[in-house]
Structure formats: structure tokens, C-alpha cells
A = this chain, B = another copy of it.
Amino acid sequence: MQSSFLHAAAAMLVLTGALAHAATPTGADEWPMPARDHASTRYSPLKDVDTTDVADLQVSFTFSTGVLRGHEAAPIVADGTMFIVTPYPNYLYALDLGQPGAPVKWVFKPNPKPASQGVACCDLVNRGVVYADGRLFFNTLDAQTIAVDAKTGKEIWRRQMGDLNRGETMTMAPLVVKDKVLVGNSGGEFGVRGWLAALDVRTGRIRWRAWSTGPDSDVLIGARFRPFYAGDRGQDLGVHSWPGDAWQRGGGTVWGWISYDPELNLVYYGTANPGPWNADQRPGDNKWTAGIFARDADSGEARWFYQFNPHDLYDYDGVNENVLMDMNVDGRTRKVLAHPDRNGYLYVIDRQSGEVLSAKPFVHVNTISSVDLKTGRPNYVASRKPEVNKVVRDICPHAAGGKDWQPSAFSPQTRLLYIPHQNMCQDEEAVSANYIAGTPYVGANVRMYAGPGGYRGVFQAWDPATQRTVWEIHEKFPVWSGALVTAGNVVFYGTMDGWFKAVDARTGEVLWKHKVGSGIVGQPITYRGPDGRQYVAVMAGVGGWAGAIVAGDLDPRDASAATGFAQPMADLPSQSNKGGTVYVFAVP
């Protein structure tokens, strides 16, 4: 653990003490969706387990999923039941928390097409199931969205949302907003064209689908679209900011996190990188990739957009979490969202207008020297621009970004954002990519390695108001797990070598750690059990992009394995085996 003030800056922004919308549809004791609330805080008001007794945590029970791939999902808890979805083959389990040892109530096996295993870019992960009003919603690797009755485990409906033959898969956790379930696609590395869709929770009928590229009609851009920055204004930019018809295979998939503000009735989500990685093949800003959309939750109409990475050069997807909070800015309370981007900058954005209030690096960044708050555009460092048939060295952060999908947690008590992330750089050579439907469409050779300091992972407390690191803990491997913070001022995360850790949310002191059976890339949660005790749960099961070397038995001598992420993890297989297991802890 190290305290760091590397990114200290004048404290222009002061955070208010209250969360705007920590929606808890089924009570403070439960955890009904991966982020727990629509604001994506991953904050629990439970505080039976606090800094004074967290060191007494013990394993209450465990449950093997029987699946060996990377377990990136959160277990969720609602109605006295824990629900978990596994990586492919996407088994959905209900565990009865009211019975000793939490036996299986039911299991639902969706039988996704085996061929989906061949077109997932980075392991066969799934990031979670969501519970709402007695129904469960989740996606399968072969691009289906499925609704299941939470009591019985019976299928209510299923809908094929994407085309496996084009490399289109689904890995993200849905979000339920009122009577719609929101889902998006994966497959940016296969030239898949991204979208977010809203399905009727009762029938699965598609109510709207908003594409991330193409004409305004496809993107659901209309009269109510008011982007803050001039660069995002104009007709059919989703076509014109691309060469020819490149937008049709241009990426911008929606495989990350969605937030929702019920007062503004807006949903927020990021779009992934443009395809292919080789940016010379797609001159232009490549709208609407690598940015964030605010959309009307009912109609899907775009209300604003902001592009973190116009003409993305580095696979810097914009899909990371958007954590909604209120913030006092120069004496005025503003509804903001905090977004730690793959490009290594932490953005605080006015979520009504799309105005960027601050953008500061939270990691070592040498690809973007600053973000121009007048234009909203990043200032790219010319010497780091990848070129065809030339190896550009020391690109930081690497393709997986300053952080990737692994979600932060925000505590209204400490007013800090807890960011799990990696510290990695790369050398890159752009190469020509040919599009063949259903095959990889990347166009880059990368060699990844640890960033300055030699450690590959960081768990960091970041103050979004003062824009600086309050403390950080260095880890040998990328911190590829989610974060959880509680009213007990304890923050939890896991490591890829299998340590589940509890840290003082204020100081970063490690208060407790427990070695689980496999590396952790899942999302920790907490809940109150039917017996009244507070439990903490996390799935172990190493994998995901960073852990694909283990989950996929990859050969680190192959520089292209896991798009370059196998080689720098060559020491992981000796320190973490495969194995999906839910670990549930409590103070005895």
C-alpha cells in the first residue's frame, strides 16, 4: 500500500455528502443488480461488518459453478436467494440462502450455441444477471437475452439479439429501467457494429435499438439531441466521420456498464473502440465510438454524446462505468457522473448537459497530454501514434487501458471512488486488417508489459472532487476484479492470484485478506442474509482478457495470444488455477 498524490491538483470541485440516486429497489439488505443501484455506486449501507471486525470474516459457504472460464460476474441477492450466472455455457443458478449451506433451488441451462466460443475475443465471460420484480434477465454468449422466473427458474422469454456468424456475442450485464431491460452487444474485435437495445420486460419485444454508428435514424439522433461540444454536432456524423461504408463494421459495441438517473430519466452508457484498431484504415472521428451517450430511457432518443477518444488510436473503449453522484462545483450542486476511462483519464461530466467539468489522469498516461475542456478533445501525443509497419514503443496505458471493464465503487461517506485497474504499457505496430465476417478484425501487433514501477495492478482511492489519488495499493497482477464499498468504511477487491482483500476505505490499510481457490476477476457484493447477518460474497475463477492465458490455456510464446495480453501474464498460470467458485463470508 502506498499513499500517492501524483495527480494532485487544485480542489476546484467539492463533493456533496449524498448520493443522488442510490436506488435500492428491493431494500437495503439486498443486491439486485451487479452495481447494486442504478447510479452504479457498488455502495452498500450495511455496516455490521466494519473496520473493527472485518478481520474476523470467515468463509460461510462456497459453491462450485462447475465452469472453468473467467468468472467476471457479480452474484446478486434478492428475495432471500442468490443468483449467479456463469461464463459460457451461461448456467444460471439460484441458491436458497434460507437453508443451511445454501443449496441449489434451481438451475437454468440456456444451451448457447457452442460456436460462440470461437468468436469471443477475450475468454468466454459473462458480467452478470439482474433481478427486477420477480424476473431475472441475462445474456448468453451467443447473443440471446433471456428472462427467467426468479421463483421457479422457468424461462419467460428469450430473444436472439445478435448474429454469431458476424462475430457478435453478448457478455454484459443488463440493466432494468422501469418496464424495459437494456442490453448491448460485444464483438468489436470482429468488426461488429454496436448497439444498445431496450426490450419489454414482460415479452422481450424490442422497444428500441440505438446503433453506435450509421445514419442519425439508426443512432436515434433527432431533434432532442444536444451535445455539449461542437464536434459532436452535425448530420449523420455516424456515417460522415468514417471513410466510405466503414461505419458498417466500425465497432462501438456496448458491452460495459449502464447507469440510470430516474429524475432526468436518462440512461448513460459507453461505446467501445472503433474497428479495426489500425486507425489509418478509418480516418475521421469515428462517431459514435469510444464515447458516452445519454439517452431518454423511454424512447431511446439520444440527448447528448461525448467522445472520450475521437478517432481512437489504442483500443480505448468507452464502456467503463459511469458513477452518478451530486457534486458541489464552485458553490453550485451539479448532477455529475464520474467515468474512469480506458485512456487513463478520470472524467467528471455534468450529466444533464454532457459538459466535461474535469479530466485528469488517474494512471500514468503518455498518449494524451491533456483534455481541452473547451473543445472536449484530447490532445494526442504525436510521437505515440501507432503507424503501419513501424513499432512505436512505450505506449501508456496499453490497449486494455488505464482501467478496463472492472468497475469502481463510490462511497458517499468518504466521497472517494475506489478504482481497480492495471498499470501497463505496450509497444505497437499497426498492420493492415482485412474484413472477413466472423473473423478477427484488429490490425495491430502489440507487446504489453508492466508500466513504471514494474507492478501490473493498482487499487486506488481517487477523490473526484480534488482530482487526486488519496491512497493506492500496488499489486503484482492487474486488479481485474470489481470493487465494493460499505457504510462500514470497508472496501473489498480481489487479486488475480487469489487474494480477497478488505481495506480501510479512508486509509488504504489492508485489514483482512483470504486466499481463495482461483484468481478473482469477479465483482464483490454484500447483503444481509435471512438470518440477519451481513455477508460478503465474490466469485473466484480467473480469466477474462487479462486471465485468458489461464482460462484458455494460451501459450505465452505466442505474441498474438489474447491480442497480446497472454505474454505479459506468463507468470500467472503458476500462481492461479482455473476454477469457478462463489465464496461467501461472514463474521461468525
Residues of A within 8 A of B (CB): 58-59, 61-66, 68, 100-104, 107, 497-499, 514-518, 540, 574-575, 577-583, 588
Contacts and interface: CB of A to CB of B under 8 A. Distances in A.
29 contacts: A58-B58, A58-B59, A59-B62, A59-B514, A61-B514, A62-B62, A62-B515, A62-B516, A62-B583, A63-B517, A64-B517, A64-B518, A64-B577, A65-B579, A66-B518, A66-B578, A66-B579, A68-B68, A100-B515, A101-B515, A103-B497, A103-B575, A104-B574, A104-B575, A517-B517, A517-B582, A579-B580, A579-B581, A581-B581
A94 to B, nearest CB: 11
Contacts of A583: 62
Overall SS of chain A's interface: loop
Contacts of A574: 104, 107
Contacts of A68: 66, 68
A86 B517 CA distance: 15
Contacts of A514: 59, 61
A579 B64 contact: yes
Most central of A65, A516, A579 by chain B CB within 10 Å: A579
A540 B575 contact: no
A468 to B, nearest CB: 32
A574 B106 CA distance: 7
Nearest to A101: B515
The 5 closest A-B pairs by CB, nearest first: A64-B579, A101-B515, A64-B517, A59-B59, A66-B577
A582 B578 CA distance: 13
Nearest to A105: B574
Given A63-B517, A64-B581, A579-B579, 7 more contacts: A62-B516, A64-B518, A64-B540, A66-B68, A66-B518, A517-B581, A579-B581
Nearest to A58: B58
Contacts of A498: 101
A134 to B, nearest CB: 22
Contacts of A59: 58-59, 62, 514
Contacts of A64: 517-518, 540, 577-579, 581
A300 B59 CA distance: 49
A372 B517 CA distance: 52
Most central of A66, A104, A574 by chain B CB within 10 Å: A66
A110 to B, nearest CB: 16
A583 B578 CA distance: 15
Contacts of A61: 514-516
Given A58-B588, A64-B540, A68-B66, A102 B577 contact: no
Nearest to A553: B66
Nearest to A518: B64
Nearest to A516: B62
Nearest to A65: B577
A554 to B, nearest CB: 14
A577 to B, nearest CB: 4
Nearest to A64: B579
A582 B581 CA distance: 12
B581 A515 contact: no
A63 B66 CA distance: 15
A110 B155 CA distance: 44
Contacts of A515: 61-62, 100-102
Nearest to A574: B104
Contacts of A578: 64, 66
Nearest to A99: B515
Contacts of A517: 62-64, 517, 581-582
Contacts of A103: 497, 575
A581 B517 CA distance: 7
Contacts of A588: 58
Contacts of A540: 64
